[in-house]
Structures are given as C-alpha cells and as structure tokens.
Amino acid sequence: MTGSSAWWVDDDILGAMSDETTGLLAGVLAVVAALIVYSMIRAAASGQLGRDSGFGLITGAVKKTEATWSAGHEAALPVAKKTIWATAGLWLVTLVLGLIVGETWAGYLGLVPYLAVIGGFVPMIRTANAAAEQAATKDRGKKKRKR
C-alpha cells in the first residue's frame, strides 16, 4: 500500500474515484446532515437537549426560557422534516443530472443538496422564533394574571 495516509485509507483508491462517485458521496452526506439537524431539533423539542447545551436553534427568542425553547423547536420540527425530503429529492435530481452530463460537472452537482440543508435553516428559524415569541406572550399573560 504505497502512498497511504493511514492504514485504512488508500490514496490510490481515493485518487481513482470518479467525479460522479465523489458527487454521489457528497449528496449522501448532505442527506445525513439534514437527518442530524432533524435529530437535534427533535431532541430539543422533547427536552433531551437543553437550551444551555450549545446545540439547537439558538436565537434570542428561542433561548429565552424553557417554554420558548420547547415551543420553538416543536414548531421547527415539521420544517426540519421537509428539509430532509427536499435534500433527498434534490440529491436524486442532481444524481440523475450528473449521470447525464458526465464526469465534468457531476462532482459539483453533488454539492447542490447542501443548498437545501442550508436553505432549510431560514424557515426553521423563522418558525421557531414565531412560536417562541407566541409562547413568551402566553407566559407573560399568565404571570400578569397571577399578580
């Protein structure tokens, strides 16, 4: 195994990978990234991931109280699930396009599904912030009634 950077990775094999294969792997990793984001949001929504953990949708509105933390993540959960489907769908489209256009663009097309993952954060955060602000308003209303 000449040219090996580690005993389990053979540089000759990695160098022999086509751009199509690289694009395929990049797309699969984008779907995995979307699944990780979904799992993180689900854990925060169920209370397994606290607001001081450093993970989750960390915005001022969402992180304010435990109630806003839970409400924000619960609201963002369906958006995160749609992001998984959008990423997987986009990956399949780019995979087919990569096979059509050949090796020249296939490696770059594998990066396109990451746009779905990154773009999914915008509606997730908006939804989480709106739900958190609504939960904070309800919480303030309860505190005023108790006085």
Both ends of the chain: CA-CA distance in Å? 76
Q: Is 53 inside any structural domain?
A: yes
Sign of the dihedral defined by the CA atoms of residues 24, 26, 32, 38, in that order: negative
| 6 is a domain residue | no
Percent share of the chain, pLDDT over 70 = 76
More confident call, 103 vs 49 = 49
> Does residue 30 lie in a domain region?
yes
Q: Is residue 78 part of a domain?
A: yes
Distance in angstroms (rounded) separating the CA atoms of residues 110 and 107: 5
Number of CB atoms found within 10 A of residue 126's CB = 14
- In a domain? residue 97: yes
Asked if residue 91 lies in contact with residue 106, where contact means CB atoms within 8 angstroms, the answer is: no
Enclosing domain of residue 57: 19-142
Counting the structural domains of the chain, the total is: 1
What's 129's DSSP letter?
H
- Residue 23 above 90 pLDDT? no
Question: For 108-139, how does the pLDDT look when each residue is reduced to its tens digit (9 = 90+)?
Answer: 777 889 999 999 999 999 999 999 999 988 86
**Assigned domain for 82 exists:** yes
Would residue 80 count as lying in a domain?
Answer: yes
pLDDT tens digits, residue range 78-88?
999 999 999 99
| 73 neighbors 45 (Cβ within 8 angstroms) | yes
Residue 23 in any domain: the answer is yes
Q: Which residue has the tokens 């997730």?
A: 124
Query: In the predicted model, what is the mean pLDDT of the chain?
Result: 82
